[in-house]
Amino acid sequence: MSNTKSFKALVIGCLLCVASSASMAVDSMSAEVGTGNKSQIYRLGMQWNMDQQWMRSDKSEIWGYWDLTAAVWRANQFENRVGATQTFLDIGFTPTLRWQGLNHQGVYAEAGLGPHINSDVYDNFGRRLSTNLQFGTHLGLGYTLASGLDLSLRVTHFSNGGIKQPNNGVNFAVARIGYKF
């Protein structure tokens, strides 16, 4: 099966799994835009809260959520050729931990790590990721308003974790807006 067909099957499978369970009601949705290494990323996501908290104090706690995302990557110097572009799709699933006030409003810091499947192998600006499987990590700072609007900035890194060489890694500065239901 081709990469495109495999990718479409994965997307459809993920959406069917999510839609099939009422207990998996989406808690929030997000949109992101990022840039780095002469590339851009545009991503939409759905999040589900984990029903667990850690390191709870009288003012704050660490809590988590599952983040399922679909993204489009655009590389502006494909195969290190000026003017050549590459566009491909990405599906990611990232467990994320967030340190925030008990009411889940106000300032927060978060970190996440999860797998991503890309529809093509990234090759841009002298940086190459030699597999379709990548791991995405991020560190972020943000603010959640009482209305549920969630604004953040993230630093995101993608690499294959050394599964295969070359593995130069790709970094993005990302702006994110979300809404908690």
- Token pair for 23: 């207990």
Q: What pLDDT was estimated at residue 2?
A: 58
Residue 10, domain member (yes or no): no
Structure tokens at 22: 């009422």
Would 3 be classed as within a structural domain?
no
Residue 16 lies inside a defined structural domain of this protein? no
Burial (CB count <10 Å: 0-12, 13-18, 19+), residue 73: buried
Instruction: Read off the DSSP letter of residue 58.
Output: S
Structure tokens at 80: 């290190």
C-alpha 97: how far from chain center: 13
103 domain-assigned? yes
> Residue 51 has what pLDDT?
87
What residue numbers bound the domain in which 150 lies?
Answer: 26-180
136 in Cβ contact with 94 (< 8 Å): yes
Going from the first residue of the chain to its last (181 residues), give the mean pLDDT of each consecutive group of 10, the final group possibly shorter.
Answer: 59 56 80 96 97 93 97 95 95 98 96 97 92 97 98 97 93 98 92
Question: pLDDT, tens digit, for every residue of 3-14?
Answer: 556 666 666 665
Q: Tell me whether residue 6 is in a domain.
A: no
In a domain, residue 13? The reply is: no
- Domain total of the chain: 1
Predicted confidence (pLDDT) per residue in 115-136, tens digit = 999 999 999 998 999 999 999 9
The answer as to whether 176 is a domain residue is: yes
Confidence at residue 104, expressed as pLDDT on a 0 to 100 scale: 94
For residue 1, tell me if it sits in a domain.
no
Identify the CATH number of the domain in which residue 127 sits: 2.40.160.20
Instruction: Identify the pLDDT of residue 22.
Output: 46
What pLDDT sits at residue 24? 73
Strand intervals (E) in 58-120:
60-75, 86-101, 106-118
